[in-house]
Amino acid sequence: MKKVKPIPFRDKNGKRAFNSSGVLEAGPGRFVFIDNNDPTALFDLFLDDEGGHERIRRRPIVGMAKGLLSDPEGLTWLDRATGTLLVASSLCRGNDGLVRVRYRADGDLPAEAIPGFRDWLITRVPELADAAMRDPDDGGLNIEGAVWDPTTRALLLGLRGPANPGRVTLIRIPVRADAKPWTTAALGPPARMHLRVPDSKHRLGIRDISNAASAGFLLLLGRSLSHGDEPFHLCTWNGRSDTLELLDIKFHKSAKPEGLTTFTSGDGRRILVVDDCGGYAILDAIS
What DSSP assignment string belongs to 197-255? Answer: -TT--SBEEEEEEEE-GGG-EEEEEEESSTT--PPPEEEEE-SS-SB-EE-SEEE-TT-
Q: What is the pLDDT of residues 248-271, one digit of tens each?
A: 899 988 889 999 999 987 777 899
Of 271, 273, 200, the residue nearest 231 (C-alpha): 200
Q: What is the pLDDT of residues 161-213, one digit of tens each?
A: 999 999 999 999 999 999 999 999 999 999 999 999 998 888 999 999 999 87
Counted domains in the chain: 1
Q: What is the pLDDT of residues 200-233, one digit of tens each?
A: 888 999 999 999 877 799 999 999 998 878 889 9
Taking a C-beta distance cutoff of 8 angstroms, is the pair 247, 3 a contact?
Answer: no
> H/E element holding 110?
strand 109-113
| Parallel, antiparallel or unpaired: strands 109-113 and 53-62 | parallel
SS (H, E, C) 132-164: HCCCHHHCCCEEEEEEEECCCCEEEEEEEECCE
CATH number at residue 114: 2.115.10
Domain that holds residue 42: 2-284
CA atoms within 13 A on the CB side of 91: 31
Taking a C-beta distance cutoff of 8 angstroms, is the pair 75, 31 a contact?
Answer: no
Residue 81's beta-bridge partner residues?
none
Residues 30 and 263: their CA atoms lie apart, in Å, by: 10
Residues 3 and 128: their CA atoms lie apart, in Å, by: 36
